[in-house]
């Protein structure tokens, strides 16, 4: 019951935040001296065409009315169309969202795969040279923002060694191998950006768990070490992994924006940036709203689910 109430209040809060964010961004973009009709009508504009366009877009209505209409459309799934080229945003998203989604999925999977053994090793051999090497390495990665690491990886593995090309994204339907090959460097770049968070938390998590009574008990029972690590240590820590994955969504979106530019991937990041350079503000507005909503929703979910996932926290809360 408390959980449901908590969830409900969280939902209301989240909705409020999304509402305010979208309104503020809408309002700010509407202050810009740019006329969507110029974009829409383009180089062939005449006074009449512009007037007609303004009428069609109902630009003379008040801010609230315009925002309301926009929000209504968004909620019903009509994301509008680009003023610039008339292409439906939903249509573009269908092309571009998968690119970013694959990028984020692979990155999360790779981060987990890499950080679990390293984190465990680091924790078990706490303060040894292995631990220092791993934590030190992870710490250095934090000093490599994606636009530095991405460019350097492109330099070494694409330009110099020629192992990968920078020819952009290949869809999974065009051959899995080519698909993976086109995403290796971007995913590695992104992973380097978030893996340290996973690693760090896993390490301290495992260290704490190792000191728990039930681990001691298992050890006393003479259970094999590997079994203890898997059954009693890693399983509770998986909650941490889920949480960190959620909390690092923002980091991933930041990174994806940059990585897509470096590796010429036609995903959400490139879409947003080209909309910015095109002054295609409806697309900017829509994308920012979607990102904010998705991001806030993930945070809410992680927050709400956390006590549910980890029995120990649930127990303590009672």
Partner 1 sequence: MRAVFDPLVIEDETGAPQPYLLESFEANEDFTTWTFRMRPGISFHDGTPADAHALARHFEQVMSNPLAQQLFNRAQGWEVVDDLTLDFHSSAPFAGLPAGMTGQMGYLAAPSQHDDPDGAANPVGTGPFVFKSWIPDAELVVERNPNYWRTDAEGRALPYLDRIVYRPYVEPDVRRLALETGDITVTHYDLGLDSEHYRENFKTIEEQSLLQTLYVMLNNARAPFDDIRARQALAHCTDHETYNLLRTAGEFDIANGPFAPNTPGHLPDNGFPDYDLEAGRALWAEIGDPGTITLGTTPDAHYRIGAELLAQMWADCGIDVEIQQLDQGTLILNAVMGNFQAAVWRNHNGATVQNERVWWDSSYTGFIAINMGRIKNPEIDAALARATLTDDRDELRRIAEEVNRALAGGVHNIWLHWVRWLIPHHEDVQNLGWITLPPPDGRPVLNILEGRTFLTETWLAQ
Partner 2 sequence: MPGRRSLAALRGQGPVETGGSRLRLAEQPLGFWLAAVWLAALTFFVLLAPVLGFVADPEAYSRNVLQGVGWSHWFGTDELGRDMFARVVWGGRLSLMIAAISVAVGILIGGLMGLLAGFFGGWVDTLLSAVINILLSLPALILALFIVTVLEQNTRNVTIAVTILAARAVARIVRAQTLRFRQREFVTAARCMGARTSRLIFREVLPNLLPIIVAFTFLGLGLVIVGEGGLSFIGKSVPAPAITWGGILAVAKGKLSAAPHLTIYPAIVMFCTLMAVNYIGDTLMRRFDVRQSLI
Q: Is 81 strand, coil or helix?
A: strand
Q: Using CB distances below 5 to 8 A depending on partner kind, what does residue 176 bind out of partner 2, partner 1, none?
A: none
Q: Which one of partner 2, partner 1, none is in contact with 274 (Cβ closer than 5 to 8 A by kind)?
A: partner 1
Q: Is 160 in the site for partner 1 (CB under 8 A)?
A: no
Please report whether residue 279 would count as binding partner 1 according to CB under 8 A.
Answer: yes
Residue 8 in 3-state DSSP?
helix
Options 68-76, 157-165, 221-229, 306-314: segment touching partner 1 (CB under 8 A): 157-165
Stretch that binds partner 1, among 16-24, 71-79, 158-166, 294-302 (CB under 8 A): 158-166
Of partner 2, partner 1, none, which one sits near residue 3, judging by CB under 5 to 8 A according to partner kind? none
CB 231 within 8 A of CB 224: no
Nearer to partner 1 among residue 240 and residue 270 (C-beta) = 270
Give the residue from 157, 145, 152 showing the smallest Cα distance to 193: 145
Closest separation in Å from C-beta 93 to partner 1:
13
Using alpha carbons, select from 283, 278, 286 the residue that is nearest to residue 39. 278
- DSSP-H helix ranges across the chain: 2-30, 36-41, 47-57, 63-75, 89-124, 129-141, 146-153, 176-210, 213-220, 225-227, 235-247, 249-262, 268-277, 281-309, 311-317
Burial of 33 (0-12, 13-18, 19+ CB in 10 A): exposed
Binding residues for partner 2, per CB under 8 A? Answer: 13, 16-18, 20-21, 24-25, 28-29, 31-32, 139-140, 142-148, 151-152, 154-155, 158-160, 197, 200-201, 204-205, 208, 211-212, 240, 243-244, 247, 249-251, 253-254, 257-258, 261-262, 272-273, 276-277, 284, 288, 291-292, 295-296, 303, 306, 312-313, 316
Residue of 167, 224, 294, 311 interacting with partner 1 (CB under 8 A): 167
The reply on whether position 151 binds partner 1 by CB under 8 A is no
Q: Which residues touch 184 (CB under 8 Å, ≥6 apart)? A: 164
Q: Can you list the pairs that 95-99 forms with residues at least 24 positions away whose Cβ atoms lie under 8 Å?
A: 95/266, 96/266, 96/267, 96/268, 96/270, 96/271, 97/267, 97/268, 98/171, 99/169, 99/260, 99/265, 99/266, 99/267, 99/268
- What is the gyration radius of the CA atoms in the chain, in angstroms? 24
Q: Toward partner 1, which CB reaches closer, 269 or 307?
A: 269
Reference 259, options 200, 155, 183; nearest CA is 183
CB of 101 to partner 2, least distance (A): 16
Q: How far is the CB of 120 from partner 2 (least distance, A)?
A: 18
Smallest gap from residue 156 Cβ to partner 2 (A): 9
CA dist 262 and 265 (Å) reads: 8
296 binds, among partner 2, partner 1, none (CB under 5 to 8 A by kind): partner 2
- Applying CB under 8 A, the site for partner 1 has a residue count of 25
Binders of partner 1 among residues 5 to 64 (CB under 8 A) are 38-39, 41-47, 49
Give CA–CA dist 29/204, Å, rounded.
44
For the CB of residue 178, give the shortest distance to partner 2 in the complex, in Å. 22
When the beta carbons of 179 and 264 are compared against partner 2, the nearer one is: 264
**Closer residue to partner 1 in complex, CB, 166/291:** 166
Selected binder of partner 1 within 30, 95, 242, 295 (CB under 8 A): 95
Q: Which residues contribute to the site for partner 1 (CB under 8 A)?
A: 38-39, 41-47, 49, 84, 95, 158-159, 162, 165-168, 264, 266, 274, 277-279
């Amino acid at each position: 019951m408390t959980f449901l109430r908590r969830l409900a209040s969280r939902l209301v809060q989240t909705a409020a935040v999304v509402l305010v964010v979208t309104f503020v961004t809408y309002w700010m973009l509407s202050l810009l001296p740019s006329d969507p009709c110029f974009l829409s009508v383009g180089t062939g504009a005449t006074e009449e065409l512009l007037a007609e366009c303004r009428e069609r877009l109902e630009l003379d209505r008040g801010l609230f009315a315009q925002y309301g209409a926009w929000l209504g459309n968004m909620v019903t799934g009509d994301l509008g169309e680009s003023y610039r080229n008339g292409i439906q945003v939903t249509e573009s998203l269908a092309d571009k969202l998968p690119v970013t989604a694959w990028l984020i999925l692979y990155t999360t999977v790779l981060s987990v795969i890499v950080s679990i053994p390293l984190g465990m090793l680091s924790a078990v051999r706490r303060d040894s040279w292995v631990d220092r090497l791993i934590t030190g390495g992870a710490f250095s990665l934090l000093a490599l923002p994606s636009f530095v690491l991405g460019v350097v990886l492109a330099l070494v593995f694409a330009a110099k060694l020629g192992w990968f090309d920078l020819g952009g994204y290949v869809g999974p339907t065009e051959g899995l191998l080519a698909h993976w090959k086109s995403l290796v460097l971007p995913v590695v770049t992104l992973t380097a950006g978030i893996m340290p968070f996973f690693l760090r938390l896993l390490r301290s998590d495992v260290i704490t768990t190792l000191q728990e009574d039930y681990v001691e008990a298992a050890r006393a029972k003479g259970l094999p070490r590997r079994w203890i690590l898997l059954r009693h240590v890693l399983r509770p820590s998986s909650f941490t992994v889920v949480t960190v994955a959620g909390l690092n969504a923002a980091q991933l979106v930041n990174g994806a924006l940059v990585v897509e530019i470096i590796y010429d991937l036609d995903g959400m990041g490139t879409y947003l940036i080209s909309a910015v350079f095109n002054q295609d503000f409806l697309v900017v507005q829509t994308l920012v709203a979607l990102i904010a909503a998705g991001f806030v929703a993930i945070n809410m979910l992680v927050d709400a689910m956390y006590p549910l996932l980890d029995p120990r926290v649930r127990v303590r809360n009672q």
